Amino acid sequence: MKLLHHSLLYLVVAFLAASCKKDDSAVTPTPTVKTADVRDSVYYYAQEVYLWSDKLPSLTSFNPTSYATAQEVMQKVRTYSPLGTKGTNLDRWSFAILKTEWDNVSSGSAGDIGVGFRFSAANDLRISYVYANSSAGKQGVQRGWQVVSMNNVAATTANVDALNTELAKSSVSLVFKKLDGTNTTLSLSKSAYQTNPVLTRSVIEQNGKKIGYIAFNSFLGSTASADLDEAFTYLKNNQVTELIFDERYNGGGYVSLAEKIANLIVPSSAAGKLMYKDTHNTKYSSWNKTVNFQSTLPAANLNLSKVVFITTANTASASELLINVLKPYMTVKLVGGTTYGKPAGYYGFPTMNYYSFPLAVKQVNASNYGDYYDGLPVDREQADDVNHNWGDAQELCIKDALAYLTNGQFPSSGARRPNFTTYNERVNSELSLPGVLLHTNKKLLP
């Protein structure tokens, strides 16, 4: 049986794994010698299921207990993967994580203030997303609001370290400039809440077309499936004929959710046809399988001929799998930035108080393509315009997507803003996980 993209079990993300199911009759690796040290255990699972397990040294030669933590063992395992086109190891993700941390992440339970941050300019820090049930969401904070200061620290790139110090506190007072130009001061507190993976869904009417829009932030969370059902049913009932699927910050998650969305988007002519193929190392080739689109597509299926995805370098794993499996069957365009590049996933092996996630499964689409370790390229490069809210037709990426869907081509030129990538990676109020593409098991491996 398989294990659980990110961000942690078999997710399609930059640090997790995605969800696929394995027959109960499948061979399950069982340690011949039980060990009391989690470092030995996580290395045992890597020796069994790792995509390049034949490259790993023996337990004695590797000596897992010479590493300080289980995570350090997995970081070393990565170095035995082949080198990619950039001269670095293909595996950037195999990891180990405490069960308590993984349980919170996978269920969508969070305990921060509930927002993301990105710089639009050196002296212009913006809210990039907000979770509705968080302290920020309950007080009406919106994507696009400018952060003027945090606890009286000016929100500039020069003050990144000081800003992170303030964000580490249990509460923080922020001065915002709202989208209408007015200022407001709010005190945001860290608290337990449930994330909402579908940040918004709407219908944009342009040139006589009804264009659906969904901002989807994670393939994880206990409400993700129901949220997607509601969003696609809403778009179906509003008779949309085109779709913009915004996953610019989506680091991946369960493969099962990628399959679900693909079945909701794909044209009816793809029903019953091959979606993707899973492959494993030689020792576990019996786990290889094919996954087809549903023979009877869901009632909320939009039966589209084309779709535009909004992506960035944070779009990873399950997000990329979704894009890749649709390409053989419909016109798929990408706007924004080249994706992260994670065409493989994990299974989550419970090991004492940890989960171990050795990279274990590779996917290819119906065209037999899956080697996008350098990311999926965009058809229209555009900056992440955090000066506008989700679904705003004037937001640069959405504006370009609408131009293509209504006119059949992207603008030949247009306004672009710089992305302050270095600083954006350093301002973060959330737990950061490697790209996730997770597969679930019918029962967990011992």
Q: How far apart are CA 16 and CA 32, in angstroms?
A: 28
Mean per-residue pLDDT, 403-418: 81
Is residue 16 within 8 Å of residue 436, measured between CB atoms?
Answer: yes
φ, ψ dihedrals at 223, nearest 5°: -100, 0
* The predicted structure's pLDDT at residue 313: 92
Residue type, 421: T
Give the pLDDT band of residue 416 (cuts 50, 70, 90). low
Weakest-pLDDT range from 40-44, 98-102, 193-197, 414-418: 414-418
How many Cβ atoms sit within 10 Å of the Cβ of residue 84? Answer: 15
Model confidence at 17: pLDDT above 80: no
* The predicted structure's pLDDT at residue 415: 55
Most distant pair of Cα atoms in the chain: their distance: 68
- Tens of pLDDT, residues 113-140: 999 999 998 889 999 999 999 999 999 9
Model confidence at 433: pLDDT above 90: no
Model confidence at 22: pLDDT above 50: no
Model confidence at 325: pLDDT above 80: yes
Model confidence at 3: pLDDT above 70: no
* The predicted structure's pLDDT at residue 110: 87
* The predicted structure's pLDDT at residue 419: 62
Closest alpha carbon to 11 in 445, 444, 435, 442: 435
- Tens of pLDDT, residues 216-262: 999 988 999 999 999 999 999 999 999 999 999 999 999 999 999 99
Give the pLDDT band of residue 420 (cuts 50, 70, 90). low
Give the pLDDT band of residue 104 (cuts 50, 70, 90). confident
- Tens of pLDDT, residues 258-297: 999 999 999 999 999 999 999 999 999 999 999 999 999 9
Model confidence at 203: pLDDT above 90: yes
- Domains of the chain plus CATH, in order, are 113-193 (2.30.42.10), 196-339+364-415 (3.90.226.10)
Question: What does the angle CA 225 – CA 197 – CA 20 come to, to the nearest 5 degrees?
Answer: 45
* The predicted structure's pLDDT at residue 417: 57
Does 19 or 376 have the greater pLDDT score? 376
* The predicted structure's pLDDT at residue 107: 86
Provide long-range contacts, Cβ within 8 A and 24+ apart, for 52-55: 52/80, 52/81, 52/82, 52/91, 52/281, 53/281, 53/283, 54/281, 54/282, 55/80, 55/81
* The predicted structure's pLDDT at residue 19: 31
* The predicted structure's pLDDT at residue 202: 98
* The predicted structure's pLDDT at residue 175: 98
| Overall pTM surpassing 0.85 (yes/no) | yes
* The predicted structure's pLDDT at residue 82: 97
* The predicted structure's pLDDT at residue 310: 98
- Tens of pLDDT, residues 23-51: 333 344 554 444 469 999 999 999 999 99
Q: What is the mean pLDDT of the chain?
A: 87
Phi/psi class of residue 320: alpha, beta or left (left: φ > 0; alpha: ψ in -120 to 50)?
A: alpha
* The predicted structure's pLDDT at residue 259: 97
Weakest-pLDDT range from 96-110, 185-199, 230-244, 309-323: 96-110
